[in-house]
Structure 1
Amino acid sequence: MSMEGLDRLLGAEVVSASALHGGDLSEVVKVALDDGRVMAVKRGPKVATEARMLQAMARAGAPVPQVLMQAGDMLCLEWLPEAPPTPETWEALGASLRALHATTGDGYGWAEDYAFGRLPIRNATTESWPEFWARQRLLPFLPSLPMALVRRLEALARALPDYLPEAPPASLLHGDLWTGNTHFGEGHAWMIDPACYCGHAEVDLAMLELFGQPHPAFWTGYGPTEPGREERRPFYQLFPALVHLSLFGAGYQSMVARLISSARV
């Protein structure tokens, strides 16, 4: 990232810049300026979309980093302090996610498409939730799958109306809520790196459970979930598993196969 370019945009001299861990899909740098400001600076082709998503989450009352500036392929965000998570901050995260999900849209999807690195994410809206999940979240991966998985995924997509609700509330979703996209500070919990769209609230919960389990206090904060959520969970976890298979290789093929089997279609 060009420090000279940052100087011009921010109107102050960069005194230090250090790359942050977790920048698999975009470049992220901690920047300190000579006027005392510290911020996280991201660069990538979709940062303008990310800025709009963060602003939509903030309007819904969700704890997210403040967007300080967005220009071209650069996004400057509030620097968040860090502290180990506690039961209290896990509970706060659950309550914040419940509040986010209480904000709803008119249909399933988002006003613009997104991407995880080189992988496009389609967000064209539909009125049917099973149709959205099939067309925009599962079937786009068919060309990259081995034939045995293609047949099974096609069958699962056809069966979605029998397993997913037709018209759940179109909750505002974080869209990529694994533990790496949560951030804890002293008495605070934030959600970072969104991939927002409107859909069934269980999508965020299923993603949060894919690579581990949130602290039990999270569920205290979030509150009751819908009956049958455990049966629907593998349908929703399939999308991030397919994303990982596409981006990071065949090591995730067994996860995809296991989730298709768990769906029991």
Structure 2
Amino acid sequence: MDLDWLRANPRQLSIFLNHQRIRVTPVPGGDVCVATRLTLDDGSELFAKQRPVMPPADFFAAEAAGLRWLTVPGGPALPEVIAVDAQGIALQWVEHGTPSVAAAEEFGRRLATLHRAPCPDFGAEWQGYIGTEPLDNTPSGGGAWLDWYRTRRIEPYLRTSRDADALTSADVAMVEAALARIDQPVEPPARIHGDLHPGNLLWGRDRAWLVDPAAHGGHRETDLATLRLFGGIAQLDRVVAAYQDIYPLAAGWEERVGVHQLHLALVHTALFGPGFAGLVRAASDHTTC
């Protein structure tokens, strides 16, 4: 079985994986999916993901839709979707490299290009997932970003975290206060990765790649803010400087980093419990305007 057959039969991925004798190498990392490296008969290599239990029918389709939607001329590199069905997804294999200055600067310029691509609304035409959690992408219908963000990205995970005792009432009050005091400049919707913590930026041999998106129309500052989580990516200053050359950020963007990090912080408390409450508190504290 070779790459041409799989391209011609993309919805037969699970049959292909279950019934063909191909070389499968486990890939470490990931809490949601089982990841493998596939070596096909023609020598082609792919990255494949499957869930240990049957996922929702649209789980991998949402990832494929996001990868394709984020692929714009001059934008960041994203792995090609080779095949996808209800049980898994197979993507172009990317060889790992190092975060060079040149790669960081190129990524900053390309991320700015992505954020300038046409985007009709906050939200998306498909319903998404982040980790195992549903992600409500209902379009804003022309409404303001902060209202959409509060309703679709904060309140569901804040409620889940509170109900599971992952956050205290004081933590909830801190989040609400951070949202209340932000003065967000009005900007048009941007195509964003939506889950761009450092683990979802893959440094390849000659460039940086975006992987595992929760893509939607959002605020462009969100992607830049989440790159700072968990210690931040290597060469972050170079990325931001190159980005600013192409698409300058509005004044005060650094004071708004925390509110843009709140969504991913709350996803972590909703999924993994009170061990990530400190991340929520830090994001709330980092919102100063």
TM-score calculated relative to the size of structure 2: 0.82
Q: Which amino acid letter does the alignment assign opposite residue 69 of structure 1? A: A
Counterpart for residue 222 of structure 1? 243
> AA paired with 1:22?
G
Other-structure match for 1:65: 79
Q: Which amino acid aligns with 1:219?
A: V
2:152 is aligned with 1:136? yes
Taking the aligned partners of 2:108 and 2:19, their CA distance within structure 1 comes to 38
Confirm or deny: 8 A CA contact 1:32 1:38 kept in the other structure.
yes
The ranges of structure 1 where at least 4 consecutive aligned residues each deviate by more than 6 angstroms after the TM superposition are none
**Using the alignment, how far apart are the partners of 2:288 and 2:106 within structure 1?**
34
For 1:7 and 1:114, how far apart are their aligned partners in 2?
21
Among all aligned residue pairs of Structure 1 and Structure 2, give the percentage whose two residues are the same amino acid.
31
1:162-201 map, 5 Å: 162-165=182-185, 167-201=186-220
For the residue of structure 1 that corresponds to 2:105, the secondary structure is helix
> Contact 1:94/1:220 (CA < 8 Å) preserved in 2?
yes
1:48 aligns with 2:70: no
The residue that corresponds to 2:258 in the other structure is 234
> C-alpha offsets along residues 138-176 of structure 1, whole Å, 9 cap, x if unaligned?
11123322322233333444x26x5223x4121100111
In structure 2, relative to structure 1, the CA distance for the partners of 1:71 and 1:118 (3 Å cut) is: closer
Pairwise CA RMSD: 2.2
**How far off its partner does 1:26 sit?**
1.9
1:23 to 17, 20, 30: 30
| Structure 1 residues 187 and 10: alpha-carbon distance in aligned structure 2, compared to 1, 3 A threshold | same
- Describe how 1:96-107 pairs up with structure 2 within 5 A: 96-107=110-121
Deviation at 1:10, TM superposition (A): 7.0
> Mean alpha-carbon deviation: is it higher for 228-237 or for 182-191?
182-191
Give the partner amino acid of 1:152.
M
Q: Does 1:80 align with 2:94?
A: yes
Q: Is the 8 A contact 1:90 1:189 kept in 2?
A: yes
**Structure 2 SS opposite 1:9:** helix
C-alpha contact (below 8 Å) 2:80/2:92 kept by paired residues: yes
State the aligned residue count.
258
**Structure 2 regions of 5+ residues with no counterpart?**
1-11, 163-167
Shift of 1:36: 1.2
Change (3 A) 1:47 1:234: same
Contact 1:31 1:40 in 2 (8 A): yes
